[in-house]
Structure 1
């Protein structure tokens, strides 16, 4: 250690200006790619690593010529919609939306076919189709036609006809799928054991091209949404208009997070500045810690920019956490420095600084390593954004430790702080009251801790792994209000597809002619090459109708569309009579070509023997539990309706998001015991005592359990943001435990008296712990002003975690040390 100290002194402390100049050069290099730092909220950022659901989602969309890449504009006029003036106002809005560059087309009540006419039948359907735009259908007649259709109510028009919707289609360019296929082929080429350097270079090039394309498409999407919002604003004088759709949800999530990073990043820094100024009352102890925090974030963001490593919704909190960790390290150094100033007021500043570094580098190193272990558990989650979050925190904590013990001392060498008059006083700090309470009311501390542990366990058992997108946004935000309108009046928000694959062809028992058997090819699947691949038999359509009716009966589902909807529509055309077996067989020929993409191909793929049910889930439903819903549908289709498990496939954003949530639960909650075992092993390595390691685990378990238990009691579900609170809490609680135990060990060696040592620790390291906690709680309290609910939860639970970790380290931890005497007998 002395050789390291000598080298550290000669290279760093004795040449502060040169060392700081080198560091400034490093900051300049990092800043060259700060503009490459970006947020990613694409579908891939919300799914599991190598999750087949994303590939299936893309395949099904291409197979059934469908897409979720559209915006929904809800339109509720102040006056009656179905008047000449009302439809003219809607048409003006629609026409402006169609002029936006990225918009491919729009669907609305103005251009959809009104399959409602006195002369309309299956034989005349091709000639008698009318539209409001093309045929000047009277408004009231159009209203009747739309409401009588099984297709449009609760989709393009509300059941009370007061609200309608314009679907603004944003087609994905073919180039995207070409680049996607190139990237997948390049990835497959490097998975083998004999990967060549040229294959790796090809992958890097294709990844770069795909990234450039997705960034361009994201920028175009954001610009399109801004244009649509501007158009809506111009038409909102006489109508209540809202915007919705998956692209808007993604764009708004990114926008809220970007605003939080910038606006609340500045706000948090201001709060930290004020709190540090109130606590230390010296400008150096305000500026230097803030500079260290800023340098840490700067370097990490610069590295992410150079590595072109995007930040996702989950990992966006890493900036706030780096502020916490860096500030914690610097405050511990500040308090220790001021303690040495108190002990030897006449010592040279450099000597005081060297003593501070020597005293604090070991516990701070232990703290950094153990916290890295806590966050390192995230890398085993199987979810790419969570894995990235774990690695970012690992890198960030390493940078924070280096900044604290390189840049912080250099700044003190350049700006040596004078002795504060309060440092030389012998006032009893507030933290010593906790020592007195622990000394005289230790039994009460243990009793309260035990009761709290029981309540925590009960609260953890009440946790659920679920959340609705609508719960991410405050009620007064446009996106929240739009989701409510879409759910209540227009059939639901979140897409879910149920795919049914046809049965394998049954055996023909040697009969080549189906008419020579008892099988009617227009009713049943006879198994011959000519008919076995068709869905349009009476038997199959009857089963699909039963599936449709079941899905539509579920309280969590809104609008359900399938081939059954088309058959209901054709039955309405057929004078209200259901189609017979012969008419069913000729449905593909009876539907006009210009309606095939609306009525048939979105629901039936003859080539792949698959039928699709398009479902919109009600995000506002209080009973929405995605995993339970999927399990219930799977059970009904396989056990009640006789489909095999291989025949039923779920896909869509609902499935991918649910897969991520379930994996988060498995990896973080069910394996949190493994995380604590890893920390336990670190404690054994650091303290070389099983008894001390067990004692050190107690406040960590209580702090983590308190946060999760509180979420359970309050009914706040675990989702992609709140699930990481467990790892964050463990990382925070571990810091206080390590610092306190290390200081207790040092102080105990002076007189080997446990109670006296406890009081000294509370007056020294306890003060540093309290300063850290107060500063962070005050700084992160500003996050409650965010419009993004996960950011609010993050701020609240981070503050609560700091409070519980502090209370545990100042009461339960010292009481257990006094009780079990892990450092040996007293003198």
Structure 2
């Protein structure tokens, strides 16, 4: 493609024009960076087509939107019912109530329960003058609705439920949460906060920090690696200038386009480094090689852009196509990532294509900034050894077949779903909060269920139906895998217990239909807010809210099946409908894995068609795809062998692995095609190609692996998994292209 040669010539002859153009474009993109938003919202992963999502919206319409609640557990010196603890709660509550935007704080300290006075129920404060009676304490400790709502396991620590005004903005809510955290830190040596909004706020804070920390660390490591590999100041400044121009242009485009930075956005810094470094190293290495052949710098650049520019463009195109194939998924953040990643690859290619020759032109009189001629001795020796190995019939196919078979065996161990859908490093602040609530407060997996008739139009607030719900709730509470349970049968059961003298064994529905109806009426009249939160507007759904331990997806599904079976055992005329954030994430994760297979197949087909046009040979197409399949098999084997959960980022690794593998294959085969046209001898063409392109492949792979190093220290587990799998993919792709591809060409390539 002569267009790349023309660009190289134009930047050399008219540098001022290009400098002005690049400067103006860079300033435009840079001005978009301040508009870049960092956000993490689980609900963005929803798909409207799923039943679990439609049920979620049904619950919102029937029960109202979920209140903005945060759960605060201070680690007090004494147990939850101790007088000192109650006084500390009172002081803390009074302080927190002064924060504008907090509308209610519920805890043991202000607990109000009904008492029966003969003529009806009267609310009574259980804490008087900072103390609670021993009899009330004994009853509340064993009250099914109290554990995990008012105190943690075994009543060790108190639980405060903080309700925030629905009308406050996200920014103001974050300020409120920070104030709660700060005030709690002042009063207690240790405390833990949880709730969707607090977790998302903390997650976004970590997301911002990790993005910039990861970027800075990756740049520093890459600088060191470039110096080790090339030992020239220019070899550091040039990639830095080209990559930073492309990187800031992309993030500026995200800002202008309103594309937010979410958990997948943290992958862009290493991704851009990988893409940019691959382009830079291949072009830079080609210039070095041309200088070794005795070309002047201008000629070396022109010839490098003429030969390698086309291959670099095709690798960028296939990479962009691979990412764009993610559009087949119905998960919005994944679709967005595919589109944005496609644009990032093309922006980085343009940046490298233009900035590199311009840099050479401006540095023409500064030898320290220019590439030194390549030292070919070691690379020629490597090429000789690879060629000799490829000429042997059995070692290569046997070794790679064994590796593939072992990976296929390990792939059988791959499990979909994640244990912790937040995927946070346990040692982080949010990770510690998650672990504490898991161990002490009934788990974090929210499961929202509704009990309905098979004919969903029938009411569920009849005495008979409520007794069924009470029996069903009792069975749920008997399952040790289920933590906190809040049921629509709890308040009527509590009223019956109160009427029967406060005996715990009477925490059940009233014996007569009239009593149950009376209790339901009292509940609806005296506490309509909680009534509407648990019995739907149309009275056709009786709600039960559960919290499960943070089990894997298959275990969560087993619990759901058990729940359905338990209700069916009680009544064949009723059924359970499920929703909740964790269920939505599990369902979307499963759909994502299915979609990734479709995306990978689409990318495979599109790139196969592109390569068939490029080489105009079915034989060459097959030869090119064999080494590209090997890294995919290895990737799946690594995921299974390391017991890595198939989460959001990991599900995308296969597509990314494929496009990485294709890049080096295209560079190798295009150079091989040029060499075979010159020599018409397959062995010599393989040897020359391995010596020249192999050098660039090894150098670019080395720098890629270095760019992954910061991800191993990330607070996000998926980033660590992502780095581990992709590192193995880069190595296996390099070996496949340096060893398997030459072996195939020597045996199956046919000269025209």
Q: TM-score range by the shorter chain?
A: over 0.9
Is contact 1:470–1:480 with CA below 8 Å preserved after alignment? no
- CA–CA distance in 1 between the matches of 2:694 and 2:573? 64
Is contact 2:705–2:730 with CA below 8 Å preserved after alignment? yes
Alpha-carbon spacing, 1:383–1:471, altered in 2? closer, same or farther (3 Å): closer
For residue 262 of structure 1, the aligned residue among 212, 232, 254 is 212
Q: Residue 572 of structure 2 corresponds to which residue in structure 1?
A: 642
815-824 or 657-666: bigger deviation: 815-824
Alpha-carbon spacing, 1:667–1:157, altered in 2? closer, same or farther (3 Å): same
Q: Residue 472 of structure 1 corresponds to which residue in structure 2?
A: 423
1:643 CA drift (Å): 4.4
Is contact 1:773–1:806 with CA below 8 Å preserved after alignment? yes
Q: Residue 197 of structure 1 corresponds to which residue in structure 2?
A: none
How big is each residue's C-alpha offset from its partner over 1:608-661, in whole Å with a ceiling of 9 and x where there is no partner? Answer: 421111111212x367644454455446556874246xx543222123212321
SS at match of 2:330: coil
1:275 aligns with 2:225: yes
SS at match of 2:354: helix
Is contact 1:290–1:327 with CA below 8 Å preserved after alignment? no
Is contact 2:34–2:255 with CA below 8 Å preserved after alignment? yes
Alpha-carbon spacing, 1:630–1:311, altered in 2? closer, same or farther (3 Å): farther
1:271 CA drift (Å): 0.5
Is contact 2:452–2:460 with CA below 8 Å preserved after alignment? no
1:104 CA drift (Å): 2.1
For residue 323 of structure 1, the aligned residue among 273, 282, 285 is 273
Q: Residue 712 of structure 2 corresponds to which residue in structure 1?
A: 784
Alpha-carbon spacing, 1:493–1:122, altered in 2? closer, same or farther (3 Å): farther
Q: Residue 584 of structure 1 corresponds to which residue in structure 2?
A: 516
Alpha-carbon spacing, 1:505–1:285, altered in 2? closer, same or farther (3 Å): closer
Q: Residue 30 of structure 2 corresponds to which residue in structure 1?
A: 31
SS at match of 1:100: coil
SS at match of 2:451: strand
- CA–CA distance in 1 between the matches of 2:685 and 2:521? 90
- CA–CA distance in 2 between the matches of 1:311 and 1:713? 31
1:614-763 correspondence to structure 2 within 5 Å:
614-619=545-550, 621=551, 625-634=555-564, 637=567, 641-643=571-573, 648-669=576-597, 672-763=600-691
For residue 414 of structure 1, the aligned residue among 362, 367, 376 is 362
Is contact 1:434–1:810 with CA below 8 Å preserved after alignment? no
1:14 CA drift (Å): 1.3
1:274 CA drift (Å): 0.7
Is contact 2:116–2:122 with CA below 8 Å preserved after alignment? no
- CA–CA distance in 2 between the matches of 1:20 and 1:438? 48
For residue 612 of structure 1, the aligned residue among 543, 546, 563 is 543
Is contact 2:414–2:639 with CA below 8 Å preserved after alignment? yes
For residue 385 of structure 1, the aligned residue among 327, 330, 333 is 333
Q: Residue 412 of structure 2 corresponds to which residue in structure 1?
A: 461
1:127 aligns with 2:122: yes
1:357-376 correspondence to structure 2 within 5 Å:
357-376=305-324
- CA–CA distance in 1 between the matches of 2:333 and 2:224? 34
How big is each residue's C-alpha offset from its partner over 1:108-162, in whole Å with a ceiling of 9 and x where there is no partner? Answer: 11122245xxxx4374663352232x66543544532321322111332134211
SS at match of 1:423: coil
Q: Residue 490 of structure 1 corresponds to which residue in structure 2?
A: 441
For residue 544 of structure 1, the aligned residue among 465, 469, 478 is 469
Alpha-carbon spacing, 1:227–1:136, altered in 2? closer, same or farther (3 Å): closer
Q: Residue 113 of structure 1 corresponds to which residue in structure 2?
A: 112
Q: Residue 288 of structure 1 corresponds to which residue in structure 2?
A: 238
Is contact 1:56–1:651 with CA below 8 Å preserved after alignment? yes
For this pair of structures, how many residues does the alignment match?
742
Is contact 2:417–2:552 with CA below 8 Å preserved after alignment? no
1:739 CA drift (Å): 0.7
Alpha-carbon spacing, 1:687–1:628, altered in 2? closer, same or farther (3 Å): farther
1:342 CA drift (Å): 0.2
Alpha-carbon spacing, 1:82–1:501, altered in 2? closer, same or farther (3 Å): closer
- CA–CA distance in 2 between the matches of 1:823 and 1:236? 79
1:467 CA drift (Å): 0.9
440-449 or 164-173: bigger deviation: 440-449
SS at match of 1:716: coil
1:66 CA drift (Å): 6.1
Alpha-carbon spacing, 1:6–1:679, altered in 2? closer, same or farther (3 Å): closer
How big is each residue's C-alpha offset from its partner over 1:361-391, in whole Å with a ceiling of 9 and x where there is no partner? Answer: 2211221121122112101101110111110
Q: Residue 170 of structure 1 corresponds to which residue in structure 2?
A: 164
- CA–CA distance in 2 between the matches of 1:308 and 1:505? 42
SS at match of 1:559: strand
- CA–CA distance in 1 between the matches of 2:568 and 2:28? 60
1:535 aligns with 2:461: yes
Alpha-carbon spacing, 1:438–1:635, altered in 2? closer, same or farther (3 Å): farther
1:42 aligns with 2:41: yes
How big is each residue's C-alpha offset from its partner over 1:676-731, in whole Å with a ceiling of 9 and x where there is no partner? Answer: 23322222122211121112112221112211221112211111121111111111
282-291 or 100-109: bigger deviation: 100-109
Gaps of 5+ in 2: none
- CA–CA distance in 1 between the matches of 2:118 and 2:523? 10
- CA–CA distance in 2 between the matches of 1:455 and 1:625? 28
Q: Residue 809 of structure 1 corresponds to which residue in structure 2?
A: 737
How big is each residue's C-alpha offset from its partner over 1:549-583, in whole Å with a ceiling of 9 and x where there is no partner? Answer: 44334454211211232343233223244412221
Is contact 1:736–1:769 with CA below 8 Å preserved after alignment? yes
1:286 CA drift (Å): 1.1
1:11-160 correspondence to structure 2 within 5 Å:
11-48=10-47, 53-54=52-53, 56-61=55-60, 63-65=62-64, 67=66, 69-114=68-113, 120-121=115-116, 123=118, 126-127=121-122, 129-132=124-127, 136-138=130-132, 140-160=134-154
1:72 CA drift (Å): 1.3
1:771 aligns with 2:699: yes
Q: Residue 250 of structure 1 corresponds to which residue in structure 2?
A: 200
- CA–CA distance in 2 between the matches of 1:393 and 1:112? 53
- CA–CA distance in 2 between the matches of 1:289 and 1:113? 67
651-660 or 723-732: bigger deviation: 651-660
SS at match of 1:500: strand
Is contact 1:637–1:643 with CA below 8 Å preserved after alignment? no
Is contact 1:435–1:758 with CA below 8 Å preserved after alignment? no
Alpha-carbon spacing, 1:261–1:7, altered in 2? closer, same or farther (3 Å): same
- CA–CA distance in 1 between the matches of 2:472 and 2:61? 23
- CA–CA distance in 1 between the matches of 2:362 and 2:657? 36
After superposition, the CA RMSD in angstroms is 2.7
How big is each residue's C-alpha offset from its partner over 1:293-315, in whole Å with a ceiling of 9 and x where there is no partner? Answer: 11111111111211112232224
Is contact 1:44–1:54 with CA below 8 Å preserved after alignment? no
For residue 481 of structure 1, the aligned residue among 421, 432, 450 is 432
1:432 CA drift (Å): 3.1
Is contact 1:77–1:163 with CA below 8 Å preserved after alignment? yes
Q: Residue 559 of structure 1 corresponds to which residue in structure 2?
A: 484
Gaps of 5+ in 1: 174-215, 507-531
TM-score, length of structure 2 as denominator length: 0.92
